[in-house]
Amino acid sequence: MFKTLHKYASPMHFFALARALTPWLFGISLVLFGVGLVWGLFLAPADYQQGESFRIIYVHVPSAWLSMFAYLVMAGGGALSLVWKIKLGDVIARAAAPLGASFTALALVTGALWGKPMWGTWWVWDARLTSELLLLFLYLGYLALQSAIEDRRAAARAGAVLAVVGIVNIPIIHYSVVWWSTLHQPATITKMGAPTMATSMLIPLLIMAFAFQLFFLALLLVRARCEILEFEQRAQWVKTLLGASDQSRGTR
Partner 1 sequence: MTPRRRRMWTIGLLVCGMAIATALILKAFQQNLMYFYSPGDIAAGKAPSNRDFRIGGMVVKGSVKRDQKTLAVRFTLTDYAHETVVTYDGILPDLFREGQGIVANGRLNPAGLFVASEVLAKHDEKYMPPEIAASLKKKPSNLDNAP
Partner 2 sequence: MMASLRDFLVMGGYASFVWPAYGLGVLVLGLNGVLALRRERYLLREMAKRNLPGYRVA
Q: Which letter does DSSP use for residue 9 in this model?
A: T
Distance of closest approach, residue 126 Cβ to partner 2, in angstroms = 20
Q: Rule CB under 8 A: choose which of 109, 133, 134, 149 binds partner 2.
A: 109
Q: Rule CB under 8 A: choose which of 106, 163, 170, 214 binds partner 2.
A: 106
Termini Cα distance of the chain? 44
Radius of gyration of the chain (CA): 20
In total, the chain counts a number of residues equal to 252
Distance of closest approach, residue 84 Cβ to partner 1, in angstroms = 7
Q: Rule CB under 8 A: choose which of 109, 124, 140, 241 binds partner 1.
A: 124
Distance CA 97, CA 79 (A): 14
Q: Rule CB under 8 A: choose which of 28, 172, 222, 229 binds partner 1.
A: 172
Q: CA 44 from chain center: how many Å?
A: 26
2-34 in b/e form (b: 16+ CB < 10 A) is eeeeeeeeebbebbeebeeebeebbeebeebbe
Distance CA 19, CA 229 (A): 13
Q: Which letter does DSSP use for residue 39 in this model?
A: I
Q: Rule CB under 8 A: choose which of 38, 154, 180, 242 binds partner 1.
A: 180
Stretch 126-185 residues interacting with partner 2 (CB under 8 A): none
48 binds, among partner 1, partner 2, none (CB under 5 to 8 A by kind): partner 1
143 binds, among partner 1, partner 2, none (CB under 5 to 8 A by kind): none
Q: Which residues bind partner 1 (CB under 8 A)?
A: 45-50, 54, 57, 79, 82-85, 117-121, 124-127, 161, 164-165, 167-168, 172, 179-183, 185-188, 194, 196-198, 200-201
